[in-house]
Amino acid sequence: MQVDFKLKSWVKVSHDSDFPIQNIPFGIGLLPSGNKVVCTRIGDQVIDLVRMFDAGLLPVAGLTRVVLNDGFLNGFIELGKATTNGVRAAIIETLQEDAGASTRDEMSDCQQHISKVQMCLPVNIGDYTDFYSSREHATNVGTMFRDPDNALLPNWLHIPVGYHGRASSIVVSGTPIKRPHGQTLPAGATSPVYGPSRLLDFELEMGYVIGKKSVLGEQITTGEADDYIFGLVLFNDWSARDIQKWEYVPLGPFLGKNFASTISPWIVTLEALEPFRVEGPEQDPKVLPYLEYEGKKNFDIKLQVGIQTENGSEKIVSQSNFKYMYWNMCQQLAHHTVNGCNVRVGDLNASGTIS
């Protein structure tokens, strides 16, 4: 469906809200009633899709009440984009400023203020892969951990480097994270010590949720990849740098990464992001044919990190944009499956730190 920037809603939405009528993301909300349901958001209002369905406001072929009341988005996503995009279109229609009084009344009964809703992990994540696709970040890490003159390893400009992470420790934003313990090698020491990480770090990333399963032994091409991506989330790859530095040779990240990762509760659909497609960075040397792609595959999404103290004050420490990624999502998914690895609905891939 086309995104109309001129579209307005009868629901009051702040001009700087991330949830205008053009967005309509999907998430799982625990309502005051105790029901855990598929929902969406406009402004500061969370909309219960089960109540919408019961009110006859979601006349979309293939949609069932069961998938809206399942506790995760997996079943809803698996219905396919024809159905999920149809649901977005139906929601937008009820929220438009020219909606009738009866529709507004029915929709008002489906809404709760965000302060009354506990947002939950949106998908049951089966597998998780973290990529390493920002050239600037890879260069910085190579400079810190290895030789500054050879910061990028020989393969980095030829393949979207990634590793399989731990799905069980991915939690929704707002979940308290306990400082990890492990082995570290203090500066100047010859033997490791055990204790809490002293270099706990964050990594600003974007994650994307797989919305369509593939077959074991078959690969997804860059031209097909968009059909397999349901939507995007914000992603924080918590990292214990001192644990990571001691353990990462020869097999890469392990305990320095798998203690926790955080994702936003709302999944913004790929369709909602269509107007923000842009060209990606020039890739030199030329990539192998299976990584070639056509069209605009990067997205102009402004991002920032703020650190908030206990007294509530905040300091912005990083500002960036998703458009800077050297390897785009379609290339990542094509590389992920080029050997025949299959993906399943609800799998999560992360971009790697966005410098």
CA-closest candidate to residue 226, choices 85, 125, 130: 85
Does 113 participate in catalysis according to the annotation?
Answer: no
The correct answer on CATH 3.40.50.2300 for the domain covering 27-120 is no
- Helices of type H across 98-220: 101-108, 135-145
Domain ranges in the chain are 27-120, 128-350
pTM: 0.96
CATH for 128-350? 3.90.850.10
CA distance 197 to 194: 9
Q: Which of 137, 158, 164, 181 is catalytic?
A: 137
Q: Is the peptide bond before 250 cis (omega within 30 degrees of 0)?
A: yes
- Cα–Cα distances in Å, from 193 out to 144, 188, 190, 198, 242? 21, 12, 10, 12, 11
- If DSSP codes are grouped into helix, strand and coil, which group holds residue 281? coil
- Alpha-carbon distance of 116 to 112, in angstroms, equals 7
Contacts of 49 (CB under 8 A, 6+ apart): 37, 38, 39, 40, 58, 68, 87, 91, 110
CA nearest 192: which of 205, 179, 181, 182?
Answer: 182
Q: Residue 285, preceding bond cis, omega within 30 degrees?
A: yes
- Rounded CA-CA distance 110/224 in Å is 36
Nearest to 230 by CA among 58, 74, 37, 64: 74
- Of 34, 32, 92, 35, give the one whose Cα is nearest residue 60: 92
One pLDDT digit (tens) per residue for the chain, 355 residues: 567 889 999 999 999 999 999 999 999 999 999 999 999 999 999 999 999 999 999 999 999 999 999 999 999 999 999 999 999 999 999 999 999 999 999 999 999 999 999 999 999 999 999 999 999 999 988 887 777 888 898 999 999 999 999 999 999 999 999 999 999 999 999 999 999 999 999 999 999 999 999 999 999 999 999 999 999 999 999 999 999 999 999 999 999 999 999 999 999 999 999 999 999 999 999 999 999 999 999 999 999 999 999 999 999 999 999 999 999 999 999 999 999 999 999 999 999 999 8
Q: 44: buried, middle or exposed (CB in 10 Å: 19+, 13-18, 0-12)? A: middle
